[in-house]
A and B are shown apart, each in its own frame.
Chain A
Amino acid sequence: MRIFVVVMTILVFCGAFAYVSHSAMIRYGDPPYTEMDDYFIRNGQEQTGANNIVTSVVFDYRGFDTLGEASVLFTAVLGVGITLRKGSEWGGKEI
Chain B
Amino acid sequence: MNLDSLVKHSPALVVALPLLLAFSTPLWSRFNKQLRNIWVVAGMCMTTLLGLFMAYNVLRYGPITYVFGASDPTQTIPHDSGGIPIRIIFNVDAMSAFMVIIIAIVGLATTIYARPSELRRKGLNSFYALLMLLIAGVLGLVCTGDLFNMFVFFEISSLAGAALVAYRIDKGIAVEAGLKYALISTVGGLFFLIAVALLYGQYGSLNIAVIAKMMQFTRLDRFALVFITVPLAMKAGAVPMHMWTPDAYSRAPSSITAFLVVSSQASLYALFRILFTLYNVTLDCRTFGWIIIILGVLSMFIGVTMALPQKTVKRLMAYHAISQTGYMLLGVGVGLATLCDQDKGGAFDVCGRTAMVGGVFHIINHAMYKGLLFLTAGAVIHRTGVRNLEELGGLGHSMKLTMVFFIIGALSIAGIPPFNGFASKILIYESVFMFSPYLAIIAILVSILTLASFVKVFHSMFMGPKLPKFAEVKDAPTPMMFGMGLLAVMIVIGGLFPTIVTENIVEPAVTALTNQSAYIRTIFILP
Contacts and interface: CB of A to CB of B under 8 A. Distances in A.
B117 A32 contact: no
29 contacts: A22-B219, A23-B220, A34-B204, A35-B84, A36-B86, A39-B81, A61-B69, A62-B148, A63-B88, A64-B69, A65-B88, A68-B155, A72-B152, A72-B159, A74-B129, A75-B133, A75-B156, A76-B159, A78-B129, A79-B126, A79-B130, A82-B166, A83-B175, A85-B123, A92-B120, A92-B385, A94-B386, A95-B168, A95-B387
A71 B84 contact: no
Nearest to B127: A82
A5 interface: no
A16 interface: yes
Interface residues of A, number: 46
A78 B156 contact: no
Nearest to B251: A95
A62 B126 contact: no
Contact of A79 (B81, B159, B204, B223): B159
Query: Which residue of B84, B127, B214, B219 has the most chain A CB atoms within 10 A of its CB atom?
Result: B219
Contact of A78 (B68, B80, B163, B253): B163
A25 interface: yes
Contacts of B155: 68, 72
Contacts of B163: 75-76, 78-79, 82-83
Nearest to A87: B122
A95 B133 contact: no
Main SS at interface, chain A: helix
Interface of B: 19, 22-23, 68-69, 80-82, 84, 86-88, 117, 120-123, 126-127, 129-130, 133, 136-137, 140, 148-149, 152-153, 155-156, 159-160, 162-163, 166-171, 175, 178, 198, 201-205, 214, 218-220, 223, 253-254, 378, 381-382, 385-387
Nearest to A88: B169
Query: Which residue of A19, A40, A94 has the most chain B CB atoms within 10 A of its CB atom?
Result: A94
Given A67-B19, A74-B23, A75-B130, A35 B166 contact: no
Given A25-B220, A31-B201, A88-B169, A68 B86 contact: no
